A = this chain, B = another copy of it.
Amino acid sequence: MTWSNDGRDGPRGYHHGNLREALIRAALELIAQKGPAGFTFAEAARWAGVSPAAPYRHFRDRDELLANVALRGFRQFEAALAKAWDGGRPDTSAAFDRLGRAYLEFARGEPALYSAMFEGGVPLGSNPELREASDRAFAVLRQAAEKLSAQAPPGARPPALMVALHIWAMTHGIASLFGRGDSARRALPMSAEELLEAQMLIYLRGLGLSETKFGRSG
């Protein structure tokens, strides 16, 4: 099925060519502008240049469109995290640092995806694909946590799952509270990246992983 139009702009015939894709992009654009609640089905249709009924051929309702945006988000998220982690090379510390930065970068660079994933009210259980994509993204954090935990002093190794959840919570907390140029949230004396790096260093030290680079007190 190669319709008249495969995603590009420009004139089209009766059929759009790639409306499903165009609707997702329209949703992203509108979410970026007005938040995950800030778009309507009709508005996405208008933005894509089709009639208000057309989206119903591709998504049952607005929630399903939003869920697909979130699904795409989790997949890109996993890819970004996995690329940053890179199997823990060249060493756990460097890879872990990259991981945190990649997380924040994703939240800042793709705020529409991020808010669709975590603030859109999309029930994870509604869609097995969504659940799986979310699990795969978390699995990257979990891998990193395994490596970190293994570096803790023997006899005091925390459960990797717990460490992974802690990392997730810290990073998500910073990303969602301070990580987006909202201009609507609190002004900070430091960047989200600096804040996260300091927090991670303190946390890792608490785990018994004393990094030599830790020492410059504030």
Contacts and interface: CB of A to CB of B under 8 A. Distances in A.
Contacts of A155: 217
A14 B165 CA distance: 54
Interface residues of A, number: 53
A83 to B, nearest CB: 23
Contacts of A123: 182, 184
A50 interface: no
Contacts of A134: 186
A204 B206 CA distance: 7
A36 interface: yes
A118 to B, nearest CB: 8
Given A123-B184, A202-B203, A206-B202, A169 B170 contact: yes
Interface in A179-218: 182-186, 188-190, 195, 198-199, 201-207, 217-218
Given A217-B158, A218-B158, A202 B166 contact: yes
Contact of A199 (B126, B166, B182): B166
Chain A, interface SS category: helix
A59 interface: no
Contact of A168 (B34, B37, B157, B177): B177
Contacts of A182: 123
A178 B206 contact: no
What are the 9 closest A-B residue pairs judged by CB atoms, nearest first? Answer: A173-B173, A206-B206, A37-B37, A169-B173, A202-B206, A123-B184, A205-B206, A35-B121, A156-B217
24 contacts: A34-B121, A123-B182, A124-B186, A125-B183, A134-B186, A157-B218, A158-B217, A159-B218, A162-B190, A162-B198, A165-B178, A166-B170, A166-B198, A168-B177, A170-B199, A171-B173, A172-B177, A173-B173, A176-B176, A199-B203, A202-B207, A205-B205, A205-B206, A206-B206
